[in-house]
Structure 1
């Protein structure tokens, strides 16, 4: 991967120049959702269609992720709080223009399931910022589709 990004900390999720925030409910417990996010990294392509492959690295302290279309990320896990929060910083990528990026998944009980909130926080030059804001509806669609697929995956795992 050709480009190293700024090593932001967890507070970047609140202070980033661009923050895309989405939420949806899943009919599974927070611990089940957390397990799919943090423990089953290689299972992400089975429910998040934008992800082509994912694998844990550095004995679980990091991840390497490839998206459909060829974008790749090398990540560091920044927060791994069972059933409540999973966050990772992108350290290296081949995505042009990005200077810093962090993603956070927050989980909270909601009725008989879980409220999932995903925040994509990033920084880059003006054109990237504008482009990401324009992409917000499409990224939101991808998130909602992923959550629906995750819910089906967890439901079939419970039935099995």
Structure 2
């Protein structure tokens, strides 16, 4: 059953009780990475294996994301800075225990490519926080796999 979460703002990415931060380097240019994250929401399912569907809602002000295993998120975009960052807050989910969640993708030029950093910020009771921390390695693997897949997609020669 979906539950409403606390409506946190962008600063939550720095103040959340649990912050999981992952980073990777890609060959794709910052503008291309940003477009894939923020403008091609439907395309997430083609490069982020855990995502089964994603779509923009409310004229681009929100997102609806479905993950493997039936997890659902209804989100509000809280930052959309082309070539710099893309962030969204989870407003409603079926994940048990979570009270607030915000994710931020930072995009930084790095030589001829891009440094991509993903931060998941969350709040919930102690068992939820412990579970999230225990899942860190798996989430890091999923992030790295997704970013590699995105990079291949963005840098593949045109057919």
TM-score greater than 0.5 by the shorter chain: yes
Task: Say what the alpha-carbon RMSD is for the aligned residues.
Answer: 0.8
The answer for the alignment partner of 2:66 in structure 1 is 66
How many Å separate the matches in 1 of 2:154 and 2:63?
22
The answer for the alignment partner of 1:159 in structure 2 is 158
The runs of at least 4 consecutive aligned structure 1 residues that moved more than 6 Å come to none
The answer for the alignment partner of 1:11 in structure 2 is 11
TM-score with structure 1 setting the length? 0.98
How many Å separate the matches in 2 of 1:33 and 1:25?
11
How many Å separate the matches in 2 of 1:65 and 1:2?
13
* Displacement after TM superposition at 1:139 (Å): 0.1
How many Å separate the matches in 1 of 2:135 and 2:94?
18
Q: Deviations over 1:2-33 (max 9, x none)?
A: 20000000000000000000000110110000
Q: Which runs of 5+ in 2 are unaligned?
A: none
> What's the secondary structure of 2:10's corresponding residue?
coil
* Displacement after TM superposition at 1:155 (Å): 1.3
Q: Which runs of 5+ in 1 are unaligned?
A: none
What is the aligned residue count?
159
Map of 1:4-153 to 2, 5 A cutoff? Answer: 4-153=4-153
TM-score with structure 2 setting the length? 0.98
How many Å separate the matches in 2 of 1:2 and 1:74?
9
